[in-house]
Structure 1
């Protein structure tokens, strides 16, 4: 992802890496607490200068001493990175939880945006989203009745989120949990895992001081005034297409692209198609600036 660069914001280290060439695009990974290397997108680095953030509380960035990981707080750190690289504005690609941050950035700092790329995300984080995920996990297990890893993913999800018989309390247990349910994040986990050089494991950081961060901007989507691309995988269980359609309907200048052979990781499952969708969106915006 390029050499690590570090800035300090309010006494907290924010690490980021720059790779590629072309218009600047902030890249905010999911989680929270998931390390960002899974979101490396070499196909896009040929057309964009990607500024990969290590979100605070993950990767090489610091934890927040007060545990206040609000979306506006994340957005403030992203703005500080833009300041550090001297970019007056940029595109913002946010994946999953990073998409929450991108949406909040669009509300808080619209003057710093050339466009939003909302990738497998939703306009809220809370009980409504969890209820949908419970149903989608059940559908995933039913779709692969003969696969032990699918059954185990369902059991692990239930133990943490439904029956609450399993506690996530540190880096190790958080990593076991996320990697245990990881097969549910793919349209076909085995097919993706068999690709040459594939490493589908996730590294994580657990911050016991992290405060609950309920968040809902469904009633504010109309206030987002920048060109927006919404991307979703047909088989995404955690941020299924219904949320993408809600974003598309609510944001005035939004377009929607669905990846039919992907789950939550279209940049891995359909990398060429994903890169082409994003590249076309950015090219259209850049041509519009010149017109």
Structure 2
């Protein structure tokens, strides 16, 4: 995978920004080889936690600084209006800006919901999609499964005095209304997102401290929640797909990964047996090998069906 697209300057290593329909769109490019866009989770978690140096040895990784976070612009309706449709339009504008014939798209957590939506509705130009810790639905069903997994986590760590703080952070999710509260909750719940946080806290505490976050409401521009159910659309997905999940992920765990895999034609499923929600950090070698092998296989696949993507702009 020795392809290089750096000559144009839009993929030279480092930070880049351009005007995307009067909103600043920032991204960060590293590595060489086929281009892979990376959309972070949250919504509202900043991109740095998702840096994947090992994959940069095989791919040109383009880390998206999602709208409303970091130095990317905020919508006029901020903190509302950051729907999957809006994020998908932003992704398409990045793809158009890069000018690369085909790209891979990797979405983590909430970013996986965005990536699935983009692959369903704007498949043209996608060489493959990687749904990393995603799910086909949100809403009450997803919440009930997360609550069940959290109870299992609490039972397994009942002897830890720090458990109370983690559970309190989950309880505070319902009252978030600022960047500061978003960051406090993200750092507060992190021990439950890693398979063995307290077994090697010296390793994971710096990851927790380095997190950055911005408050994104999860509401559309009219203040209504965006409830997701992709079950009817996923069987129509026409691009190669890889689903990755950590065995101990409590938010978007194996149940949802299996369902995504069952619904998406020809998809691959990879379960990281010693990971929670952050397998690219917990099992970096296995994660890297899984994505690299998927890209190699997907390169032999024909281009996805479909014409000019909906909502594309240049």
> Mean alpha-carbon deviation: is it higher for 197-206 or for 134-143?
197-206
- What's the CA shift for 1:210? 4.8
Aligned to 1:203: 212
- C-alpha change, 1:151 and 1:63, in structure 2 (3 Å) is same
- What's the CA shift for 1:198? 4.4
What is the aligned-residue RMSD (CA, Å)?
A: 1.9
Q: Distance in 1 between matches of 2:185 and 2:297?
A: 40
- What's the CA shift for 1:9? 1.9
SS at match of 2:186: helix
- TM-score where L is the length of structure 1: 0.92
Correspondences of 1:106-125 after superposition (within 5 Å): 106-125=119-138
The alignment status of 1:174 with 2:182, answered yes or no, reads: yes
Judge conservation of contact 1:63–1:207 (CA < 8 Å) in 2.
no
- What's the CA shift for 1:142? 0.7
Segments ≥4 residues shifted beyond 6 Å: none
> Mean alpha-carbon deviation: is it higher for 201-210 or for 44-53?
201-210
Aligned to 1:257: 270
- C-alpha change, 1:192 and 1:77, in structure 2 (3 Å) is farther
The alignment status of 1:77 with 2:84, answered yes or no, reads: no
- C-alpha change, 1:262 and 1:84, in structure 2 (3 Å) is same
Aligned with residue 185 of structure 1, among 193, 196, 206: 193
Aligned to 1:164: none
SS at match of 2:233: helix
Aligned to 1:149: 162
- C-alpha change, 1:159 and 1:207, in structure 2 (3 Å) is closer
For structure 1, list consecutive stretches of 5 or more residues without a partner in the other structure: 162-166
Q: Distance in 2 between matches of 1:184 and 1:98?
A: 19
Aligned to 2:9: none
Judge conservation of contact 1:222–1:252 (CA < 8 Å) in 2.
yes
Q: With CA pairs under 8 Å and 6+ residues apart, which has the higher RCO, 1 or 2?
A: 2
Aligned with residue 245 of structure 1, among 255, 258, 261: 258
For structure 2, list consecutive stretches of 5 or more residues without a partner in the other structure: 1-11, 303-314
> Deviations along 1:120-139, whole A, 9 cap, x unmatched?
11112222212211111111
The alignment status of 1:13 with 2:21, answered yes or no, reads: no
- What's the CA shift for 1:62? 1.4
Judge conservation of contact 2:84–2:117 (CA < 8 Å) in 1.
yes
SS at match of 2:189: helix
- What's the CA shift for 1:15? 0.6
Q: Distance in 2 between matches of 1:8 and 1:128?
A: 39
Correspondences of 1:95-114 after superposition (within 5 Å): 95-114=108-127
The alignment status of 1:61 with 2:72, answered yes or no, reads: yes
